[in-house]
Amino acid sequence: MVFPMVFLKLADWVLYQLLANSCYRAARKVGNYGFFLRNQTPRSSSSLQQPGSLFPSITHFNLSNDIKIPRTLVCDIHGVLLRTETFFPYFMLVAFEAGSILRAFLLLLSCSFLWVLDYELKLRVMTFISFCGLRKKDIESVGMAVLPKFYLENLNLQAYHVWSKTSSRVVFTSIPRVMVEGFLKEYMSVDDVVGTELQTVGNRFTGLLSTSGLLVRHKALKGYFGDKKPDVGLGSSSHHDQQFISLCKEAYVVDGRNNQSCVMPRDKYPKPLIFHDGRLAFLPTPLATLCMFFWLPFGMVLAIFRILVGICLPYRLAVFWGSLSGVQLRFQGCFPPPNSRHKKGVLYVCTHRTLLDPVFLSTALCKPLTAVTYSLSKMSEIIAPIRTVRLTRDRKRDGETMQKLLSEGDLVVCPEGTTCREPYLLRFSSLFAELADEIVPVAMNAHVSMFYGTTASGLKWLDPIFFLMNPRPSYHVQILGKVPPELTCAGGRSSFEVANYIQRKLAEALGFECTTLTRRDKYLMLAGNEGVVHDIKRN
């Protein structure tokens, strides 16, 4: 009899929570509606206000000054700095990238009942599923290397204009602080972030909130500033935001939904987005995540089929069957003539988008090539349909190796030393310029819609598989003309001048921007290491 009684009491409590919260939310909406009806003013006097709000729209903030004003701004991130108020996609990114695909699937299943929960319970459930058992190091890595890309794409341009005009900024948010602090400090130059804190045991999160509970923004603002009022407050038209910004000297309402004027273009980002990590190439909303899980079984089979096509079939048949399976290969330029003056192969200098760059170049040219790389996993070497040779990072030894390979045939080198997903080119190593006078630059670019085929902190041997799991992955191969003899080392130029010249030519062909960043910069930022794949030697 004990178990049935416990079960009935538990069911009674759950029903009470669901029904009570639902009725409370409905009553609050009716009360707010009545409140606004009672406080309606003539249309002429409320023309500056956002519909349903007691405060004017953000469009009426004075942006005439070109310099920062010594004022303090406070706001939330979701629904204010970001155009959307939903935070599910960002919890999904944490679950998938820092956790596992099973954790992500569990979070997706929770959508079936999340919609009936109130705001606090919803956050508690998503936080527990996404964080429970994960290491602090992994969460911080996702916060710095994965989430900023999606935050930047969702920034509210109008809110950022106001943000950039103030000298001091503090963000108050109910979501876990660790999810937003890295982005806000690195890209938005925030002075402080006050958010919900999570419990930890050792170096892992329990998934539970700390003893202070879920952060209540208006209470946190009072505790942070005391009797002093912040100068400017930004919020949405929701009841909680109205209560929050009412504590500021000036308050403005942000509404970025379905407003194209609020979309932040890439060239106006607070800081250029050059490096980011993670496998997901799309914002994982519930519907988009559901589509991904439906696609996964087909994608795995399709990736295996595409790999077998590349390994087993001749070039022209591989292109035909690859295109039937959805792989798009666009070739532009002309086939370079063979090296007639020297008994050497042609040195192809490529931009580096994925590990498959040399493979797609070999397929486009319909001839075998040899590729050199600084780090490559054993699995990638096994499934590669072309010859691959590792370099040692010893300049003298690597030069001798590449000279030997050039004497045997055509060679492909990616002087950036690592991949870059965004429209930027990293600094070119000058070693290749010292080895050959017949140099052919090749502009490579790849596009995906679901999974990125590169990673800095994940399993690199899965990179080609993830790229080929995309429904319609595409590669653009553009072969530029040979470098003129007078612009090579044989023509009196230094190896650095040759490398910089080729970098500029490739950037112009792709519409990219040149940088002086290196492989080491990328891996130190994204993975906390120098990006070297070590073989495991057993004694």
3-state secondary structure 144-178: HHCHHHHHHHCEEHHHHHHHHCEEEEEEEEEEEHH
- For residue 6, the model assigns a pLDDT of 41
174-177 LR contacts (CB < 8 Å, sep 24+)? 174/76, 174/119, 174/123, 174/214, 174/215, 174/216, 174/217, 175/77, 175/78, 175/87, 175/90, 175/123, 176/127, 176/131
Q: Which helix (H) or strand (E) segment is 194 a member of? A: strand 192-196
- For residue 384, the model assigns a pLDDT of 87
Place of tokens 């407050």: 233
User: Quick check: 405 and 475 in contact, CB under 8 A?
Assistant: no
Q: How far does Cα 507 stand from its chain's mean position? A: 22
CA distances from 74 to 71, 129, 183, 489 (A): 10, 30, 16, 57
- For residue 66, the model assigns a pLDDT of 61
Radius of gyration of the CA atoms of the chain, in A: 28
The torsion angles phi and psi of 465, rounded to 5 degrees, stand at -65, -45
User: Quick check: 498 and 437 in contact, CB under 8 A?
Assistant: no
- For residue 85, the model assigns a pLDDT of 85
User: Quick check: 149 and 273 in contact, CB under 8 A?
Assistant: yes
- For residue 14, the model assigns a pLDDT of 44
Distance CA 300, CA 178 (A): 33
User: Quick check: 531 and 519 in contact, CB under 8 A?
Assistant: yes
| CA dihedral of residues 125, 128, 129, 135 (deg, nearest 10) | 160
Q: What percentage of the chain's residues is helix, strand, coil (to nearest 5)?
A: 45, 15, 35
Measured in Å, how far apart are the chain's first and last C-alpha atoms? 61
* Prediction pTM value: 0.86
Residue stretches of the chain with pLDDT short of 70? 1-53, 65-68, 256-258, 337-343, 529-539
